[in-house]
Structure 1
Amino acid sequence: MNFNGCISTFPKEVKLLIGAFLVVLSVGYFTGVSFVYETTENTPQGIHENYLGNEEDLEAQVMKFKKPKREIITIIHTHILSMSVIFFLLGGLVSLTSLKPTIKKILMLEPLTSVLLTFGGIYFMWSGWSFMKYVVMVSGILMSTSFICSVIVIFFQLFKNNKAI
């Protein structure tokens, strides 16, 4: 069965539902991105300090402590589960667009890979592999870029049908 480009042929109500879902999903996603900025300032050092603390820095503006194992496992568990569902749904919608198959595969699989690299990287960094803060940062950037590209592509293809909504 060929699903290529069928998103533009959906009934008006379904298109509105998908559009509303994408708006609400984007608000939630970027609220999370804003929280990441507040806690890490989007820097490798900020990522490191957020999970491993900064007790040795006597001039730190805000004192942070290493997160306990239970908290790290809870963070990783909840984020991997919820973000895998988010990117599964988004990937399903991307699969219905008329993009080239290679671009579709990238937009569908990259964010799932980045979820594992980001949150696995947090665990390994917390376990002592300090260089993983760079993996966490790069994979987080790639995940957000994929999210933005997917939402934009879906919106454009959702409303490209000749029948205006």
Structure 2
Amino acid sequence: MALIVMMLHVVAHAMMRHFFDAPIYGTNELVAYWYLPAVALLGIPAAQLRNEQITVSLLVDRMKPMSALIFKVFGCVLGSIIALGFAWFGLGEAMEKMEIRATAGVVDIVAWPVYFLVPIVFVLLAILYVIDMVMSIRARAPEVDLVAGTTAEHETEEDSAL
């Protein structure tokens, strides 16, 4: 949604600048300080939820399911710790920006609320890692679909030939 709004805003800005010589005030700052952080940060937990992040599973695909599950649990614990670390440091930065009432560049567009996206997104990511880990342990399967709550099926060569 933020991507569509950003696109419409930038197009309207370009049209106003070109046809009426009156660009929309603060477009560059709104894009840089509001739209892009929202698009980039909200995509992180969305990718985790849909299991669409980039993975290199060369080693894990060759393991027995229980060994792969152990690696999955380790990865989820490590991912949660790292995400909570980013959230903690992001919260400190957001609090500092709130105290000084940070604005976007040299214009007076308020920018400090966007900094709170970092801790919110990374706490959400840590929660998703924990949910993924718990569901994997309960299913005794290394890959689960967080949305459907079922184990993910691997496509075999026979399936792809059909």
TM-score strictly above 0.5 = no
- Bigger-Rg structure (1/2): 2
- Calculate the TM-score normalised by the size of structure 2: 0.36
